[in-house]
């Protein structure tokens, strides 16, 4: 026994490179010996005096290490019975049963829709804004943040949105969210609590948004979408529908701007019936043929919730978006948001506030507008030149375009593109399953996605798979 | 009519300081005229030619501004009827009906529990880490982040937690959250979906945590808390309880370290019954009398979910926390997290990863450990000296201490303190309403809350209100 313990002592590998010195190293080594089963449950350990002698350590060091492991539950210490390994099988951590990642291999060319050109993220300007914001922030800014957003960012947004998007608001009605989807989920829960059961959506849109609404307990009723946007006049025919989610500036993804008559119709509907319009203004800053059309919210701030985001204008990585609420909803939304405790990091918010107030946001949007506009022009010119039977539909705006295809060809073209290493989306993916809109074959081309240097080759790859 | 229009033109205030030049300024001025009612619904506007002449502008500029406002819905244009103000009453934004803020006036002295000393936030080191992380990040890092956390941060945490807290994990089992509460809410939903209905909690704890669990559809069953932490042996008596939320390293807020026998009992219970332990390790890095006791998770990684946070070690403003999951739960939690789409900003995550890997996190924790330890020592010494009948209970750890009071005095002392401008919490606030634990009067003193320069006067104020 004495011999085996001497061996044990010699075999203990004391790794002194970790933190905490000799005692911590001995604790780790003993813990590993229990974990790996080299010390079986019930085994009595040598006295601290004898192990200390074996290892040429101070007795207290060993006694302290034993004490640590008793406190953690690896060893037990009983009067008269000495220190023993606890009777417990020590399970190994299980392997992760995770679904394989959906998009593991990166495509050679990426024209999928939904992401800005993140290679153009203004790293230096962002870091400079962060430096100014964080080094001058009052200490309070590092405490628990207001779940509705930092006052400095809300003030900067109120000013910016009025100026750039014609939104009528004050900071108290702005709620900062960790992305559009969080805002939509919170608002969905508030609507449900108010008794809303059905919500109009556009026949084409992002399935994720419909899912979020469904999880909030709302039924989605699709509206017909055509070349003038959603047929908002259909809302009056659905008695149970008390809210509608729309993309007025640039229908997502088919690309129309909502016709003035339909803007009027939907605002009148909301005001007449007390319904609520959810305005998803995801890319409102990016219009190339004219001044951007101002937000619908400006027409009726008490019946429109305006949603904006930094995901398209800056980068999705920031997870920063904002809602502008009717006054009567602000308190309810704040309550749900606070109860969920999904605050957004305050330092990023302060950085964005400084980025906006300093003018860097406007400069970046202007630069990106030019970049995206050139890409769209290049796409349209290339089509006219080399695939004149394919038309880019929708207004000159945003980060994507829709290419109408000959009937029945969409699926095979998406498939062929994938084989060529070109990732892109067919329009079918965006169609609500219960949509009344007659379907047509088309590609949704996210020309804003690739970095500048890769756009040309992605465009070539696209031209190569078009019929 | 011609005269009134001439006046109208002259009265239009073109503010050219905004963005977009003359056309945008004219659009804004006309929009304001409609909004404010100066242009009544139905009013026919002057022709673009005549208004252009009045204002000395190009005709196209006026026509474009009219077009903008038609597109936005403020004006209508009909063949043969000219441009008119739309028939619509324009509601003003409503006032916000918000509850008055709870803590509007800042107290002169703040010893409330729950916040770190945020005046010590390492601004320069954080900015330096951010600069290194953001300037070297690949472009991908600016796209949509992994809802379970950026791989770089998960890798840094896996290493740190093994080293500092004895946690056994790999990055695939770590999920980054926007604070502990988000993690708890997500896990609560996963447990509910697995059929768990009841969850054990400590009799003393944060009401917000019990609320989050209740909102997830779980009933909370309080366990007795005494000087050895929660009586985990009571769990076996509750047949329906299949999970338990505990603070083993430092019971919150009463301050005990969970007794080794109770650590053993709860791990055995979980392993025997297939139950899950939720280990809230909110301040595990801060122990002053010995090496911190390693995490319970190390004993049984398949039955313990470990929760850590940067709120105590760095600052709540970051909204960064982490869960370490059993392998069998990782996929389910990832799914719920992704469906909620509550991602955390990737740039902050990259900054924290760099902060940890560079050693700045360890340095900061060491510095704060010294600072908090000194404050605790000062508090204990001051009590011994000037209020020897009041005892600070609990282990020497964390950012708060509990002071036992003579029976029946807690409420009047908290009240008296408030009158003196000293904010502090009584223990009663933390007690679960249905707790089996006999209650005692005490103060929970957050000695970690004030900045260094304000701690002395806060301590004096405290001594002034003690009986």
**Which pLDDT tens digit goes with each residue over B191-210?**
999 999 999 999 999 999 99
Strand pairing report for B219-223 and B198-202 = parallel
Strand pairing report for A219-223 and A198-202 = parallel
A-chain residue closest to B28, CA distance: A166
B-chain residue closest to A330, CA distance: B96
Token pair listed for A440: 């047509």
Global ipTM: 0.87
Contacts of B342 in chain A (CB under 8 A): 178-179, 182, 342
Residues contacting residue A395 through CB under 8 Å, at least 6 positions apart:
A250, A255, A256, A257, A287, A289
Contacts of B346 in chain A (CB under 8 A): 317-319
Contacts of B263 in chain A (CB under 8 A): 71-73
Given B118, B140, B319, which is nearest A345 (Cβ)? Answer: B319
Mutate to test the interface with A, among B27, B87, B93 (most CBs of A within 10 A): B93
Given B31, B90, B345, which is nearest A319 (Cβ)? Answer: B345
Residues B219-242 pLDDT 10s: 999 999 999 999 999 999 999 999
Residues B133-166 pLDDT 10s: 999 999 999 999 999 999 999 999 999 999 999 9
pLDDT (0 to 100) of residue B92: 63
CB within 8 Å: A127 and B123:
no
Token pair listed for A442: 């088309």
How is B127-160 classified by DSSP, letter by letter? HHHHHHHHHHS-GGGGSSPPTT--HHHHHHHHHH
Cα of B170 to nearest chain A Cα, Å: 9
Higher local confidence (pLDDT), B102 or A200: A200
- Assess whether pLDDT exceeds 70 at residue A207: yes
pLDDT (0 to 100) of residue B99: 47
CB within 8 Å: A130 and B127:
yes
Higher local confidence (pLDDT), B20 or B128: B128
Contacts of B362 in chain A (CB under 8 A): 19
CB within 8 Å: A96 and B331:
yes
A-chain residue closest to B171, CA distance: A96
How is A132-200 classified by DSSP, letter by letter? HHHHHS-GGGGSSPPTT--HHHHHHHHHHHHHHH-----GGGEEEESSHHHHHHHHHHHHHHTT--EEE
pLDDT (0 to 100) of residue B438: 79
pLDDT-wise least confident of A89-98, B103-112, B288-297, B358-367: A89-98
CB within 8 Å: B144 and A92:
no
Cα of A415 to nearest chain B Cα, Å: 24
Higher local confidence (pLDDT), A86 or B132: B132
Output the 3-class SS for A321-385.
EEEECCHHHHHHHHHHHHHHCCCCCHHHHHHHHHHHHCCHHHHHHHHHHHHHHHHHHHHHHHHHH
pLDDT (0 to 100) of residue B89: 60
A-chain residue closest to B348, CA distance: A348
CB within 8 Å: A347 and B20:
no
Given B115, B119, B330, which is nearest A98 (Cβ)? Answer: B330
User: Once rounded to an integer, what is the mean pLDDT over residues B288-294?
Assistant: 89
pLDDT (0 to 100) of residue B228: 96
- Assess whether pLDDT exceeds 80 at residue B377: yes
- Assess whether pLDDT exceeds 90 at residue B18: no
Given B88, B94, B172, which is nearest A328 (Cβ)? Answer: B94
A to B CB pairs, distance under 8 Å? 306
pLDDT (0 to 100) of residue B94: 63
CB within 8 Å: B67 and A260:
no
CB within 8 Å: A88 and B299:
yes
Residues A236-262 pLDDT 10s: 999 999 999 999 999 999 999 999 999
Residues B64-89 pLDDT 10s: 889 888 888 888 888 777 888 887 76
CB within 8 Å: B346 and A317:
yes
User: Once rounded to an integer, what is the mean pLDDT over residues B39-46?
Assistant: 84
What phi, psi does A76 have (nearest 5°)? -125, 150
Contacts of A142 in chain B (CB under 8 A): 118, 121, 315-317
User: Once rounded to an integer, what is the mean pLDDT over residues A46-70?
Assistant: 87
DSSP B355: H
- Assess whether pLDDT exceeds 50 at residue B443: yes
pLDDT (0 to 100) of residue A94: 64
Which has the closest alpha carbon to A231: A208, A203, A210?
A203
Cα atoms in the Cβ-side hemisphere of radius 13 Å centred on B373: 12
User: Once rounded to an integer, what is the mean pLDDT over residues B311-317?
Assistant: 96
Given A68, A142, A318, which is nearest B317 (Cβ)? Answer: A142
Cα of A128 to nearest chain B Cα, Å: 9
pLDDT bucket at B243, cuts 50 / 70 / 90: very high
pLDDT bucket at A419, cuts 50 / 70 / 90: very high
CB within 8 Å: B139 and A130:
no
User: Which domains, and CATH codes, for chain B?
Assistant: 4-85 (1.10.10.10), 109-117+363-465 (3.90.1150.10), 121-359 (3.40.640.10)
Cα of A318 to nearest chain B Cα, Å: 5
pLDDT (0 to 100) of residue A1: 40
């Amino acid at each position: 026994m004495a011999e085996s313990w001497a061996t044990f002592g010699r075999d203990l590998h004391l790794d002194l490179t970790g933190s905490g010195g000799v005692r911590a190293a001995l604790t780790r080594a003993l813990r590993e010996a229990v974990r790996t089963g080299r010390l079986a449950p019930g085994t009595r350990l040598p006295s601290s005096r004898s192990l200390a002698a074996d290892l040429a350590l101070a007795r207290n060091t060993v006694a302290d290490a034993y004490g640590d492991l008793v406190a953690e539950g690896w060893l037990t210490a009983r009067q008269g019975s000495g220190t023993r390994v606890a009777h417990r099988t020590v399970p190994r951590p299980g392997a992760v049963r995770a679904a394989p990642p959906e998009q593991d291999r990166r495509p050679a060319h990426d024209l999928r829709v939904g992401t800005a050109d993140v290679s153009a993220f203004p790293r230096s300007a962002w870091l400079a804004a962060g430096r100014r914001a964080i080094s001058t922030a009052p200490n309070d800014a590092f405490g628990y943040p207001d779940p509705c957003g930092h006052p400095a960012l809300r003030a900067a947004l109120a000013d910016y949105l009025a100026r750039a998007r014609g939104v009528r608001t004050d900071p108290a009605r702005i709620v900062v969210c960790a992305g559009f989807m969080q805002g939509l989920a919170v608002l969905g829960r508030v609507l449900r609590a108010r008794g809303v059961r059905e919500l109009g959506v556009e026949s084409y849109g992002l399935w994720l948004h419909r899912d979020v609404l469904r999880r909030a307990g709302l039924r989605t009723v699709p509206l017909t979408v055509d070349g003038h946007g959603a047929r908002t006049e259909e809302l009056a025919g659905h008695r149970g529908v008390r809210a509608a989610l729309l993309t007025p500036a640039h229908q997502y993804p088919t690309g129309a701007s909502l016709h003035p008559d339909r803007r009027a119709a939907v605002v009148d509907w909301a005001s007449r019936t007390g319904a609520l319009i959810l305005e998803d203004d995801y890319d409102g800053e990016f219009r190339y043929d004219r001044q951007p059309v101002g937000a619908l919210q400006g027409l009726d701030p008490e019946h429109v919730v305006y949603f904006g985001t930094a995901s398209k204008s800056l980068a999705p990585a920031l997870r920063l978006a904002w809602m502008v609420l009717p006054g009567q909803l602000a308190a309810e939304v704040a309550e749900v948001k606070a109860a969920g405790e999904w605050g957004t990091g305050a330092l990023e918010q302060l950085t964005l506030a400084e980025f906006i107030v300093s003018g860097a946001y406007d400069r970046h949007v202007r630069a990106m507008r030019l970049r995206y506009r050139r890409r769209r022009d290049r796409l349209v010119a290339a089509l006219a030149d080399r695939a004149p039977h394919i038309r880019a539909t929708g207004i000159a705006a945003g980060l994507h375009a829709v290419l109408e295809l000959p009937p029945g060809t969409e699926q095979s073209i998406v498939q062929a593109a994938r084989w060529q290493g070109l990732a892109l989306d067919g329009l079918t993916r965006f169609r609500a399953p219960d949509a009344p809109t007659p379907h047509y074959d088309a590609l949704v081309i996210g020309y804003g996605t690739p970095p500048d240097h890769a756009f040309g080759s992605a465009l070539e790859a696209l031209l190569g798979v078009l019929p």
